[in-house]
Chains A and B, each alone.
Chain A
Amino acid sequence: MRNTFVAALTELAERNPNLWLLCGDLGFSVLEHFASRIPERYVNVGVAEQNMAGVAAGIALSGKTVFIYSIGNFSTFRCLEQLRNDVCYHGADVKVVSVGAGFAYGSQGYTHHAIEDVAVMSALPGMEVFVPCDPHEVRTITTAIATSGRPSYLRLSRSGEPVLAGSEAWEPRTPRVLRQGRDVVILASGPIASACLEAAEVLASEMAVGVVSAACLKPLDEGFVRELAGEARAIVTVEEHIARGGLYAAVATCLAAARGRPPVFGLAIPEVAGKISTAGDRDALLARAGLSAAAIAQRIRNAIGGL
């Protein structure tokens, strides 16, 4: 994902002389592709995210489009007030890009697990929020936000994520159907959609499970979500994030008042206070959070069985 993002951004910047990339001294072996081709519009600001966000706003308010890039919690929480005041309040054309979504940093521990970032970014006025599930979505979304003229949040995982469906053109602010199925529809955000596809396959003999990538959490395409809900027995959201303020919250809010709607089950990272991180790779941490493909399948089976 990171490499796809940087490749796409570099192509865009080669055509757009007003496109800049700032990083907070992170992106080794990733950002060099951009930096070597467009050194005059690449700035490693150092380990100083508040300054990075403020500088980005100042450059953007001078007529430029500025991407800022760091690890999940650093490009969001560390400079949150700068994003709120300097970027969003002014409608500055700044794109916040984070890497290491969810448990992507595995054994690195709690400081590197970005699991509340979507909630916080979604709360900022005028901030679009994108959580792509595969490299194809990364490329399409990067291209779209580079010309949107408004603030965006782009949440990336790391590397090696598979392409999950055909690479036909798709409008990045509408959900993308990865697998057809109308009994149960899984709405997923991010690379966890891959586990959802596996779960759907596990359940195939029992029910037809559709999987839809909801890469754009804000603005959520509410018409599309209501239409999906129309015929399904249940909607299931799956996200590599806490449920509060994430995909589950967005979808449940969208459907809450809909007449005759199906139930909405949210599978997310549990909120735990005071629990000390233990080591483990992303798959291990997801399994412990009940978000392995097998666990997702079983939890859907349980949910449907209880209806």
Chain B
Amino acid sequence: MSNTPDVAEFARRIRGHTLRMVHAANASHIGGCLSMADILAVLYARILKNDPARPTDPDRDRFILSKGHATAILYAALAERGFFPVAELATYCKDGSKLTGHISHGVPGVEVSTGSLGHGLPIAVGMAMASKADRRANRIFCVMSDGECDEGSNWEAILFAPHHKLDNLVAVVDFNKLQSFGRVSEVLALEPFADKWRAFGWHAVEIDGHDLERLATTFESVPQARGKPTVVIAHTIKGRGVSFMEDRLEWHYKSPNAAQLAQALAEVGA
């Protein structure tokens, strides 16, 4: 795949931006940003048909970030994609900046504000439904956290989408196995996770959420099952790319200090 090196470079850059942003703002959620870095890189560098010059094009692909706390990395991806200047990332969480700690639709390229969990998927379902009604060829992508799959509202939407044959809808679960107070398996087990989605009528695929090529081919081939929405259960590692953050719960909260930032940037190659 000829574009993969570009995607890898995109992933490196947004990891670097995110580390700097979270450090400068003394902000949280670096772990959940890094776990979906590769997913976002593939989507924004390769998959999504959304032109920064035509942000209200009704035929654009929609991207909904339902895990709205993992925001620095999406802002970084949008800036790299040209929705606003990369220099603006330095204002993240600063007084008066539109780059708020939970994702804001005041930021160019952001479709909806989230932050309270369990909201993104129903909205994405509505967008998929409207696109179908208008016979548009676009696709709706919604990235969710594993922890937010505790929310009943998601399961209402998971029940609803296959009933209406919304095969233009792609849910991506950043399955990093950690939620805010511990291991998903200990707080509220989701397994057998893919089977649950399948039982509700979804086409479910489980992949390595850090395999750029596999992510790209998976997203490109959606819908793989006509008439069924797709869920991509992306097995990821929280804090991926920074050795001392990987699979560590505390990096849901902590912000890297200067020394940690330097090491982290060196490790991600940014």
Q: Is B one of A's binding partners?
A: yes
Residues of A with Cβ closer than 8 Å to B?
A: 40-41, 43, 45-46, 48, 50-51, 53-64, 81-82, 85-86, 89-90
Question: By CB atoms of chain A within 10 A, which of B122, B128, B133 has the most?
Answer: B122
Asked whether, in the complex, the Cβ of A54 is within 8 Å of the Cβ of B157, the reply is: yes
Asked if A51 and B129 make an inter-chain contact with CB atoms under 8 angstroms apart, the answer reads no
**Which one, B23-31, B112-120, B202-210, is touching chain A?**
B112-120
CB-contacts of B54-91 with A (<8 A): 58
Interface size class of B (residues with CB under 8 A): 20 to 34
Within 8 Å by CB of A55, from B114, B122, B133, lies B122
Residues of A within 8 A of B128 (CB): 58
Report yes or no: A51 in contact with B58, Cβ–Cβ below 8 A: no
Is the CB–CB distance between A58 and B127 below 8 Å?
yes
Which residue from chain B places its CB closest to the CB of A62 in the assembled complex?
B130
| Residue B125 lies at the interface, judged by CB distance under 8 Å to chain A | yes
Chain B residue at smallest Cβ distance from A64: B130
Is A61's CB under 8 angstroms from B127's CB? yes
Q: How many Å lie between the Cα of A48 and that of B160 in the bound state?
A: 9
B interface residues (Cβ-Cβ under 8 A, vs A): 58, 105, 111-116, 118-119, 121-131, 133-134, 152-153, 156-157, 159-160, 164
A62-B58 in contact (CB<8A) = yes
Give Cα distance in the complex from A172 to B152, angstroms: 38
Assess the B119–A54 pair: CB atoms within 8 A. Answer: yes
Closest-CB distance, A166 to chain B (whole angstroms): 40
Nearest residue in A to B131 (C-beta to C-beta)? A62
Residues of A within 8 A of B118 (CB): 50
Contact: A55 with B123, CB < 8 Å?
yes
Q: Is the CB of B113 within 8 A of A62?
A: no
A40 to chain B: closest residue by CB = B133
Of the candidates A58, A63, A64, the one having the most CB atoms from chain B within 10 angstroms of its own CB is A58
4 interchain residue pairs of minimum CB distance: A58-B126, A54-B122, A62-B130, A51-B156
CB-based contact B124/A58 at 8 Å: yes
Distance between A40 CB and nearest chain B CB, rounded to angstroms:
7
- Known interface pairs A50-B153, A51-B157; A82-B119 also in contact (CB < 8 Å): yes
A-B contact pairs, 26 of them (CB 8 A): A41-B133, A43-B129, A43-B164, A48-B156, A48-B159, A50-B156, A51-B122, A51-B125, A53-B122, A54-B119, A54-B122, A54-B123, A54-B125, A54-B126, A54-B153, A58-B122, A58-B128, A58-B129, A58-B130, A62-B130, A63-B130, A81-B116, A82-B122, A85-B114, A86-B112, A90-B112
- Chain A residues, CB < 8 A from B125: 51, 54-55, 58
A200 to B156, CA, bound (A): 49
Residues of A within 8 A of B152 (CB): 50
Q: Which residue of A lies closest to B153 (CB)?
A: A50
CA distance A56 to B124 in the complex (A): 10
Q: How far does the alpha carbon of A113 sit from the alpha carbon of B96 in the complex, in Å?
A: 44
In the bound complex, what is the Cα–Cα distance between A62 and B156 (angstroms)?
21
Minimum distance in angstroms from B141 CB to a CB of chain A: 13
**9 additional contacts, CB 8 Å, given A51-B122, A51-B153, A81-B119?**
A46-B156, A48-B156, A55-B160, A57-B122, A58-B122, A61-B112, A62-B130, A86-B123, A90-B112
